[in-house]
Structures are given as C-alpha cells and as structure tokens.
C-alpha cells in the first residue's frame, strides 16, 4: 500500500515537472536564416487568455554573449498569434538561439550571416566574421619566472571593454560611439627570493581610446587607436611614479600565403603630466616601436623597443609557443619566453639599468 502511494506521488511529481518545463509561449520564424544588422521576423503564439503586446523582448544568445533585443508588432494579433519584427544585432554570425525574455518560451535557433555593421561603414572598417564580445583581450597576458641574482616573476593582465553596444541605447542612436573602449593593463614585478616575497613594483594603466579599422585598400593604415592613458605605480612619497599621455597607435598588417602575419604597431605618445618623473622621456622617448610575427597562432614573436632622448632605452622580446595540453579552463595556453634589457623594466626604476633578464612561463594571450 505504501509502495503504491509512493509510486503515485512520484508519477504526479514527474507530471508536474514536465508541465512546468513545457514552454507557455511559442516562437517561430518564417526564415531559418537572418543577416546581422538587418530586419528579421518572429511569430509569437501566446497561451490561452494571454494578450499579445505591441512590443516584446527577445533574448539572443551566442557562445560569447547575450543580447536583449526589442521587437515591434508587425500586424494585429489573430488566433492567439502575432508577427513581430526587429533588427538582428550587427557583428553576429553563425548559430544563435532566441527565446522570449521574461517569459517561459520555446527556443528557436537561427543561422546569422555576418555583415559589416553601421560603424564599419561609417568609419571605413572591414566586415568581420567574428563577433567581438563586450570584454575582450587587449595586451598580452602572461606569467614568467627568471633568476638574476635572485628569483623574480613578471606577470601582466590586460583587457578592454567596449563602452557602447551598437545594437542598443546610445550605440544605436550614435553608431560611432561603439568604437570607444576602456582599456586596463596591470604589470607587476614580484621578488620571489626576498623575505615575505614582496612585489617590487606594479604599474597600473587605465586608458580610454577610440578604435578605427579600414574597409578597403585605399586607406594608408589598417587600424588605429587614439586615446588617453594614465600609468602609475599607486604609491606615494619618493617611490611615487606616474605619467599621463595622449597616444596614437597606427597598425599595418601584412599577410602571407601560408597564413602567417607580420604586424607593425608603433605607439606614439606625448606627455601631458610627468611631475613624479620629469626626465622620463630621456629613457622612454616618445615611441614604443612594436613588431609582431604571428605564425598561425602556433608561434608568436613580439619585440618592443624604446629609445629615449638621451640615447638610453630598452628592448623587450616575447616568444610564445602554443601547447595543446596547457589549458586554463576553456582557454588554450602558450609556453612563454621573455627577454628584457635596458632601462626601466618597471616605472619605479624608469632611470635604472639592470642586467639583462630572461624568464620562462606561460601565457593566456601572447
């Protein structure tokens, strides 16, 4: 008797769960394909006694991002269903899933074809088949260890954040705003040999910049960044170091038949404030000369050189090799080699020359 009652309860729970999991709203599309940046249509079927509003929100998901897109009714409701239209966000490509936001609905999969968005057409940027998520990599991210009269580590974290989304809000009303980014880079030198393992110095580099990309072969440069950057070590007193700069970073990319690519990306800057270190241009100069060779993301070599107005400067060389076995969650990793020689490995010692340093470690973004 008890077993029969328990079985009945279990069956009832399964039925309740199945009912709860059944979507109350249904969505469909007349087309299985859509184009980024263009109009698409959805047909929405409402549950009984539910009104179909004049506007409804749909959630669009990709592997890297999620969007809420408003849809507007294209016709009056009839027989519990209604057609809605909206604009597929620019920059999307491949398979995307759609469901109603805030409602229990079925899930629809559409294939989205990439197309140059409004910003690309306005500023002359090429269309891309890859969608850039709001937060993405900026400068290299790595951790490397070496010995030079004592063990030290150097590591760097970096990202950029797109401030305005072209699909919503101000980004949709003023498309050029979606070229604005907030960037952040943090570079630390860690003394592993001293007692308590102190950080020797850390540089914090927040920035805001506008990014441009060309569309055709008529433009002289392939890409460009223009912005403001602050760099400091976050300390006070005699150890305080900080600068504010206005910079422009043009980029030239040369592709080869084997898929390899050579990138020349010098960063030119002028000092707006250097109170803590008024002679820093004697050791850094006004340009970071940067050359990068990318062998299909298997080998990546990057060199950065500075030459100050006094003839003193520095050289930084990074070499990364992809490893199939080195993974950080879903992100693949690289074995990383780094060589530094010259003045100012950190901003605290911008005018100090130490012995050349070699380090080995790993990189997430080379």
Return the CATH number at 199. 2.40.230.10
Specify whether 110 is located in the same domain as 228: no
Based on the domain organization, do 287 and 215 belong to the same domain?
yes
Q: Is residue 277 part of a domain?
A: yes
Backbone angle region of 24, left / alpha / beta, with phi > 0 → left and psi within -120 to 50 → alpha: alpha
Residue 94 domain boundaries: 24-115
What confidence score (pLDDT) does residue 45 get?
94
DSSP tag of 78: B
Domain-embedded: residue 5:
no
Whole-angstrom distance, CA of residue 245 vs CA of residue 230: 7
**pLDDT at residue 323 in the model:** 87
Final residue before a domain boundary, out of 86, 115, 144: 115
Q: What is the CATH number of the domain that holds 92?
A: 2.60.40.1930
Domain boundary among 115, 132, 152: 115
Residues 334 and 300 in one domain: yes
Tell me, yes or no, whether 200 lies in a domain. yes
The number of angstroms, rounded, from the C-alpha of 270 to the middle of its chain's C-alpha atoms is 26
132/64 Cα distance (integer angstroms): 8
What is the predicted pLDDT for the residue at 167? Answer: 65
Say yes or no: 132 and 87 in one domain: no
CB 98 within 8 A of CB 110: yes
Same domain membership, residue 284 and residue 181: yes
Nearest to 106 by CA among 63, 66, 145, 58: 58
Looking at the fold, whether 62 and 152 belong to one and the same domain comes out as no
239 shares a domain with 128: yes
- CA 329 from centre of chain: 17
- Are 160 and 183 in contact by the 8 Å Cβ rule? The answer is yes
Radius of gyration, alpha carbons of the chain: 27
The confidence score (pLDDT) of residue 21 equals 52
Pick the last residue of a domain from 68, 99, 115.
115
Count the domains in the chain: 2
Q: Are residues 167 and 305 both part of a single domain?
A: yes
Residue 9 lies in a domain: no
DSSP bridge partners of 185:
158, 205
The answer on 199 and 102 residing in a single domain is no
Q: What angle do CA 254, 330, 187 make, to 5 degrees?
A: 65
Q: Are residues 352 and 339 in the same domain?
A: yes
- pLDDT at site 7: 42
Whether 203 and 297 map to the same domain: the answer is yes
Is 345 a member of any domain? Answer: yes
228 in any annotated domain = yes
Residues of the chain short of pLDDT 70, as ranges, are 1-22, 115-131, 167-168, 172, 216, 218, 327-331
Same domain, 165 and 59: no
3 is a domain residue: no
* Residue 15 covered by a domain: no
């Amino acid at each position: 008797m008890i077993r029969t009652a328990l079985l009945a309860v279990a069956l009832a729970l399964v039925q309740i769960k199945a009912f709860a999991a059944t979507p109350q709203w249904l969505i469909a599309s007349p087309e299985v394909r859509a184009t980024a940046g263009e109009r698409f249509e959805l047909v929405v079927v409402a549950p009984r006694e539910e009104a179909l509003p004049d506007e409804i929100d749909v959630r669009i998901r990709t592997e890297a991002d999620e969007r809420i897109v408003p849809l507007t009714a294209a016709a009056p409701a009839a027989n519990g269903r209604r057609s809605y239209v909206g604009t597929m966000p620019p920059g999307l490509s491949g398979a995307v899933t759609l469901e109603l936001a805030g409602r229990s609905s079925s899930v629809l999969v559409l294939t989205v074809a990439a197309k140059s968005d409004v910003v690309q057409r306005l500023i002359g940027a090429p269309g891309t088949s890859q969608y850039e998520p709001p937060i993405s990599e900026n400068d290299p991210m790595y951790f490397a260890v070496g010995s030079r009269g004592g063990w030290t580590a150097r590591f760097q974290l970096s990202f950029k954040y797109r401030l305005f989304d072209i699909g919503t809000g101000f980004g949709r009303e003023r498309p050029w705003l979606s070229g604005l980014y907030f960037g952040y880079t943090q570079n630390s030198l860690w003394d592993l040999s001293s007692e308590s393992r102190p950080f020797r110095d850390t540089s914090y580099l927040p920035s805001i910049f506008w990014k441009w990309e060309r569309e055709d072969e008529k433009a002289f440069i392939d890409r460009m960044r223009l912005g403001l950057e602050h760099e400091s070590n976050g300390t006070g007193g005699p150890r305080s170091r900080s600068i504010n700069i206005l910079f422009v970073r043009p980029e030239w990319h040369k592709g080869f038949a084997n898929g390899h690519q050579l990138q020349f990306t010098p960063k030119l800057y002028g000092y707006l404030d250097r109170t803590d270190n008024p002679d820093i241009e004697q050791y850094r100069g006004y340009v970071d000369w940067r050359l990068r060779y990318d062998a299909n993301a298997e080998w990546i070599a990057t060199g950065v050189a500075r030459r100050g107005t006094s003839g003193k400067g520095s050289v930084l060389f990074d070499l990364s090799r992809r490893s199939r076995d080195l993974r950080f969650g879903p992100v693949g990793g690289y074995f990383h080699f780094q060589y530094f020689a010259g003045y100012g490995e950190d901003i605290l010692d911008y005018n100090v020359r130490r012995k050349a340093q070699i380090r080995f470690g790993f990189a997430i973004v080379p």
